[in-house]
Amino acid sequence: MKILVPIKRVVDYNVRVRPTTDHTAVEISNAKMSMNPFDEIAVEEAIRLKEAGIASEVVVASFGVKQCQETIRTALAMGADRGIHVETDVELQPLSVAKLLKAIVDKENPGLVILGKQAIDDDANQTGQMLASLLNWGQGTFACGIKVESETVVVTREIDGGTQTLSLKLPAVITTDLRLNEPRYAKLPDIMKAKKKPLESFNPEDLSVDITPRLKLLEVTEPPKREGGVIVDDVAALLDKLRNEAKVI
């Protein structure tokens, strides 16, 4: 079985992001970029399935500027077999990404697509669900456990207040949550080997996909600063503030 893993290049999660001076986007010039953490978990899970003999090949795909190839090489160093890059300078929105992924799925014919539940830059949490709808495949979102059994995959997923277990017929789309696994670090020899692994490059036009943005970002602002805490004299004063100021009771 072939597994396709979409990955996204985002600002590193350790970087404190800020809006541009005109508040139209997030400032990314000179910012450290890395693989979306949820996608990194997806890559790790696909590699584990291959190591277990369940998958025969792990293919990673990324869409965007040329620097996305660096992110693909990171996934190849972790253990993926080959990469696909769809190069474009257009800002890609979830539906456009889902359509590009469908074109890749039609071309590659994988038995399973595993991707992060959301990207930490836009937090949209839409691409996996849109892809499943476009493919008419079953989907298991927010996965914290994956077990492939013959023609099905059993997905344990995070829900409010606990977990839920689903059985999906293959092929299927799975989105990963934080507790699924802990991604490995790529070793230096694997990083060197990754430079020689196959990496195909396409344009959206090659895949006959329209990526015209359908949403308009109006403004990007920082969250309001939190006010400092206060020390109350007694329980009565605490209750008064909770009731009249915070209005939580």
The per-residue pLDDT for range 62-107, each reduced to its tens digit, is 999 999 999 999 999 999 999 999 999 998 999 999 999 999 999 9
CA distance 50 to 223: 42
CA distance 114 to 53: 17
Tell me if residue 169 falls in helix, strand or coil: strand
Q: 194, 186 in Cβ contact below 8 A?
A: yes
Task: Classify each residue of 174-199 as buried b or exposed e, where b means 16 or more C-beta atoms within 10 Å of its C-beta.
Answer: bbbbeebbebeebeeeeeeebeeeeb
Residue-level pLDDT at 135: 98
Residue (of 185, 215, 207, 37) closest to 105 by Cα position: 207
Residue (of 21, 12, 10) closest to 222 by Cα position: 21
Is 228 among the domain residues? no
Residue-level pLDDT at 21: 86
DSSP state of 27: -
Is 227 among the domain residues? no
Residue (of 109, 108, 172) closest to 137 by Cα position: 172
At 212, list the tokens: 């015209």
Is 61 among the domain residues? yes
Is 200 among the domain residues? yes
Is 110 among the domain residues? yes
Tell me if residue 78 falls in helix, strand or coil: helix
Q: Which domain holds residue 170?
A: 2-221
The reported pTM is 0.87
DSSP state of 103: H
Residue-level pLDDT at 106: 97
At 144, list the tokens: 């914290």
Cα dihedral 129, 135, 140, 146, rounded to 10, equals -130
CATH of the domain at 69: 3.40.50.620
Is 48 among the domain residues? yes
The low-confidence residues of the chain, meaning pLDDT below 70, are none
Residue-level pLDDT at 207: 94
Q: How many CB atoms lie within 10 A of CB 120?
A: 17
Is 241 among the domain residues? no
Residue (of 47, 59, 63) closest to 9 by Cα position: 63
Domain count of the fold of the chain: 1
Is 243 among the domain residues? no
Q: 55, 46 in Cβ contact below 8 A?
A: yes
Residue-level pLDDT at 29: 84
